[in-house]
Amino acid sequence: MIRPSLSHINSLCIRLQTKRYFGNIHVPFQDDLDPANDDDFNLSDFQHYKESKDVIMQKQKLYEDLEQETPEVKIDLQNYTKLREPVIFVSKLKDPYLNLAIEDSIYNDMPIPENDSKENYNRLMFYKNWPCAVIGKNQNPWKEVNLPLLNSLHIPLVRRRSGGGTVVHDLGNVNYSFMTTKPKFDRFKFAEIIRDSVNKYPDLKYKLKVSERGDITTVTQPDGVDYKVSGSAYKLSKGKSYHHGTMLLDSKLDVLGKLLTRDERQLGIVDSMASINSVKSKVINLELKDEKFIELVSDGFSKNYGIVEKENDVQNEKLPSDSEEYDQNELFNLTDFVEAYSDYARVVNIDETTVLNQQIYDLADELKEWKWKYGSTPKFSHELYNEKFGFTVKFHVKKGAIIDTFELSFDEISNRMISTEKIKESFEFLEQIIETQELTYSGSNVSGFITNDMISDWIGQSIDGTI
């Protein structure tokens, strides 16, 4: 069982107040009339009574006045990220940059228990993102993603702060992040909790298992394949660790496949010596509602890490006494009700009304920057071949995604559309720019300094779809 959010409790109390307030406002007789009243009091005509426009307007005004008088209860996220108890966070936001920044903030704020303490302050976060391609911290986007297709569909590229491979997010999958201490890190533990929690659901289409790599897959299907439904990535720092992944529930797998598929004949060969390559796997949707998945996994988290003190033995640090929700709790005399659920992990919902600190917005902005998304790529080379023009260009890109050098090579053919000399001439301006300034590796940057329009368009399209 999951502990209800205090914001839900407060909202319920406000609605109850509103109902009591208007429960005393009655139109004369209204639905209280019955046939006996008609005979006894000659009131049959009142059964056809309808509220006048003035009455309707007056009731509407009373509702509006009460809504204005009732202050909106806003949650300050930082009141909960530092709690010394296990907490579940459910983000209703869909911005991938903001969700990753919130995840990072929760991770950084999570307190660490004393060495000899049996307490845990573990965190679990769920969130869904608008469509985006997410690469690992040390990956190469030119190699992992079909950038021309990604840019043509206006789907953002996101580089997370953890390792692991590339995944595509959409509203058909749920992302989860489990956080604990570094000594308690186990790449299999939480995957097994997810497996066990979901497998208990009686209407589950595919039973799950955990692979040797720590991925969550279906049990072997009739075609002999263990289909991957969730991949994982990890981070360990500051005495803490987190394990996060994405669960495929109802994703558009055809789009996912195309975004992660590169035709090297068109997009070139990327040699990324220092970056981490993704491991390709056959995937399938679990076909489970996201609300049910969150409920099942939250229940598993609560059973494994929830607080087990008695109902009246609640930690004093659970809710800061100066927080707005503490005041609301006291105002509506809900302390006993809240403490009755103290055996279970607190659930905090994050939405547009939640107060986020400025550091979260600053980090989200950093994650959007080209410098982080592309400039963090380890050095690599990108070789493009044009069969039509009979030549190859190979770009060498150094740290910061800055073009270091490039080289041209030509096929031995007699009838060329463009002569070797003309092709070389079309690259001379680009060569001068590279020698005199730092030029970042993007299609529009490179193609802008190539003087032959046909070659320029081809290179810009091949690099990332920008011209």
pLDDT in tens, 208-231: 999 998 899 999 999 999 999 998
pLDDT in tens, 422-466: 999 999 999 999 999 999 999 999 999 999 999 999 999 999 999
User: Contact, 3 vs 346, CB < 8 A?
Assistant: yes
Who wins on pLDDT, 322 or 228?
228
- Mean pLDDT value of segment 316-330: 48
Q: CA 293, 299, 302, 305: dihedral to nearest 10 degrees?
A: -70
Q: What is the pLDDT of residue 8?
A: 53
User: Above 60 in pLDDT, residue 39?
Assistant: no
- The owner of tokens 């040390």 is 138
Who wins on pLDDT, 344 or 150?
150
Q: What is the pLDDT of residue 273?
A: 78
Distance separating alpha carbons of residues 181 and 215, to the nearest angstrom: 21
Residues 288-314 as b or e (16 or more Cβ within 10 Å = b): bebeebbebbbbbbbebbbbeeeeeeb
- Mean pLDDT value of segment 348-367: 97
- Mean pLDDT value of segment 149-165: 94
Q: What is the pLDDT of residue 59?
A: 66
Q: What is the pLDDT of residue 20?
A: 44
Beta-bridge mates of residue 177? 125, 244
The lowest-confidence range among 100-109, 156-165, 355-364, 451-460 is 156-165
Would you place residue 21 in the very low, low, confident or very high pLDDT band (cuts 50, 70, 90)? very low
Q: What is the pLDDT of residue 19?
A: 45
Nearest Cα to Cα of residue 274 among 184, 380, 179: 380
pLDDT in tens, 81-99: 999 999 999 999 999 999 9
Distance separating alpha carbons of residues 143 and 269, to the nearest angstrom: 8
User: Above 70 in pLDDT, residue 2?
Assistant: no
User: Above 60 in pLDDT, residue 331?
Assistant: no
Would you place residue 60 in the very low, low, confident or very high pLDDT band (cuts 50, 70, 90)? confident
Give Cα separations from 108 to 99, 112, 140, 267 (angstroms): 14, 10, 26, 39
Distance separating alpha carbons of residues 259 and 302, to the nearest angstrom: 36
Q: What is the pLDDT of residue 1?
A: 53
Mean pLDDT of the chain, nearest integer: 85
Give me the helix-helix angle, 290-305 and 189-199, nearest 10°.
120
Nearest Cα to Cα of residue 106 among 242, 290, 307: 242
Q: What is the pLDDT of residue 48?
A: 56
Q: What is the pLDDT of residue 128?
A: 98
pLDDT in tens, 103-146: 999 999 999 998 777 889 999 999 999 999 999 999 999 999 99
Domains in the chain (CATH in brackets) are 77-307+349-372 (3.30.930.10), 379-464 (3.30.390)
Nearest Cα to Cα of residue 383 among 373, 391, 375: 391
User: Contact, 459 vs 446, CB < 8 A?
Assistant: yes
Tokens representing residue 64 in the block: 């509006």
- For 370, phi then psi, to 5°, come to -60, -35
Q: What is the pLDDT of residue 414?
A: 82
User: Above 60 in pLDDT, residue 4?
Assistant: no
10 Å Cβ neighbour count for 287?
13
User: Above 50 in pLDDT, residue 338?
Assistant: no
Q: Give the contacts of 143 (CB within 8 A, at least 6 positions apart).
A: 262, 270, 272, 275, 277, 380
- For 242, phi then psi, to 5°, come to -140, 150
Distance separating alpha carbons of residues 392 and 384, to the nearest angstrom: 6
User: Above 50 in pLDDT, residue 14?
Assistant: no
Distance separating alpha carbons of residues 295 and 197, to the nearest angstrom: 9
pTM summary value: 0.77
The lowest-confidence range among 38-47, 103-112, 117-126, 185-194 is 38-47
